[in-house]
């Protein structure tokens, strides 16, 4: 008798599960599979990124010297650009002054 009750309950459970599976639409199953695939790919990417971060990259004195030279070049380029912009601003101010004088002569 006890065995029969177990089998009946098991049979009812299987029927309920199969009913729920049948009621899920095909679109939902496809969406769930896509989400599972995306989650799997994302987890692989995260795992490889963590592995890549554990490798130490040696930083030598040559690298330090190279960075210092690069900073010097950037600073000199910045100074050159500032000088060129100052020259351009001076030219624009001269043109404004000239146009203001011409306007005063025309109006006056």
What token pair was written down for 31? 């969406």
User: What confidence score (pLDDT) does residue 32 get?
Assistant: 82
CA 58 to chain centre: 26
Q: pLDDT of 65-106, one tens digit each?
A: 999 999 999 999 999 999 999 999 999 999 999 999 999 988
**Within 13 Å, how many C-alpha atoms sit on residue 67's CB side?**
6
User: What confidence score (pLDDT) does residue 54 get?
Assistant: 64
3-state DSSP assignment of residue 1: coil
d(CA 59, CA 39): 36
Q: For the chain, which residues make up each domain, given as ranges?
A: 1-55, 60-108
User: What confidence score (pLDDT) does residue 97 get?
Assistant: 94
3-state DSSP assignment of residue 55: coil
Start-to-end CA span in the chain (Å):
120
Is residue 6 predicted with pLDDT exceeding 60? no
0.75 exceeded by the pTM? no
Q: pLDDT of 17-69, one tens digit each?
A: 555 555 557 777 788 888 888 888 787 777 665 655 566 778 888 999 999 99
d(CA 12, CA 69): 78
User: What confidence score (pLDDT) does residue 11 get?
Assistant: 59
Helix residue spans in the chain (DSSP H):
2-23, 26-53, 61-107
């Amino acid at each position: 008798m006890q065995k029969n009750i177990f089998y009946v309950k098991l049979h009812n459970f299987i029927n309920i599960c199969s009913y729920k599976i049948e009621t899920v639409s095909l679109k939902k199953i496809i969406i769930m599979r896509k989400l599972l695939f995306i989650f799997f790919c994302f987890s692989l990417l995260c795992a490889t990124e963590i592995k890549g971060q554990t490798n130490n990259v040696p930083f030598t004195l040559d690298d330090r010297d190279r960075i210092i030279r690069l900073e010097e070049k950037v600073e000199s380029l910045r100074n050159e650009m500032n000088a060129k912009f100052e020259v351009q601003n001076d030219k624009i101010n001269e043109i404004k002054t000239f146009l203001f004088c011409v306007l005063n002569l025309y109006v006056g």
